[in-house]
Amino acid sequence: MKNLLVRRDLRDAPERQTATAPAEPKSAWGLGEGDEVSPGLTALRLLGGGERYEAYLAWDERLLSLVVAKVLRPGRVGDQNARDAMAAEAAMLRRLRHPVIVRAFDVVTDGERPHLVLEHVNGPRLSTLIRTSAIALDQTLSLGLQVSSAAHYMSTRDVVHLDIKPQNIIMSGPARLIDLSVAKRGDELAGMTSPIGTTKYMAPEQADPDLFDELGPATDVWGIGVTLYWTLAKGSPFPVPSHEASASKELRYPQLVRAPAPLPTGTPSKLAALIGDMLAPRAADRPTAAEVHTALEPLAAALPRPQLARFRVPKRK
């Protein structure tokens, strides 16, 4: 607690890495500010969570730094598959070293609270900005350049993220791609038969692997395309998917049968065409991440550069 008391100002300094919610999230572990996640790792506040994990802003005594502690939920501690998935995510992050991919510092898969210690990135999620702010064209192009560079790098390391979406991008300098919990190596993609990813951001081959059988780097290009579409249109390129158990596959995954809706009027034609290519139904028809990066560079370079107004020093009397 001594270090926590010295650094109480850290509670409010960093922005949350989760979308703003109407009410504070509640910790399944009952951890509050100053509680120990594990020896040397102190919780500051709950950031959010998913089905398997809770994420806490924490203070790491070993690193003397703010970190994010991704902790298995209490009901998942006895789930060996969940522990293995956490270890696999840590191993995946250790093999990836890129400025736009979040870093992992430690993983503990045994003990009372199995957890992964991740880099803390000070900034909001892209999904929060899409909901609350206007995103300028230069920001969209810069984001596309950064995330496509990360996707290209992952392809050279034989890794596919499989869940690129606004919620998994922290807007900082540079942006950070987070949450590799469903990422796979190339050899792990063969033979997949079940949908994987987040429904409304899934490429057709994620929604129906049996039909398309093309999971690979082009799947991440689709995710970048949908993400850029959201920054420009503040909405999905496809109808809202049905979550009814009795719904047909076409209603649950509209991207299987529907073309993307047009982008807003005023979107540069070359950018609109590029995003359309990234959302091609067949993976083989999409550009590579490197080609996306190459196509975005001249679009970003062509934008007018901001100029400071001329500053005049008043003359002394």
Q: pLDDT value at position 238?
A: 96
Confidence (pTM):
0.86
- The gap from C-alpha 222 to its chain's centroid, in whole angstroms, comes to 14
Q: pLDDT value at position 49?
A: 84
Q: Are 77 and 113 in contact (CB under 8 A)?
A: yes
- 281 versus 14: the higher-pLDDT residue is 281
Please report the DSSP string for 27-75 in residue order: -TT---TT-EEETTEEEEEEEEE-SSEEEEEEEETTTTEEEEEEEE-GG
Query: Which of 129, 107, 108 is CA-nearest to residue 118?
Result: 107
Q: What is the pLDDT of residues 168-181, one digit of tens each?
A: 999 998 999 999 99
Q: Are 206 and 195 in contact (CB under 8 A)?
A: yes
Q: What is the pLDDT of residues 18-74, one digit of tens each?
A: 334 445 678 889 999 999 999 999 999 999 888 889 999 999 999 999 999 999 999
Q: pLDDT value at position 286?
A: 97
Instruction: Give the Cβ contact number of residue 154 at 10 Å.
Output: 25
Percent of the chain with pLDDT over 70: 88
List, in order of start, the domains of the chain with CATH numbers: 2-119 (3.30.200.20), 126-301 (1.10.510.10)
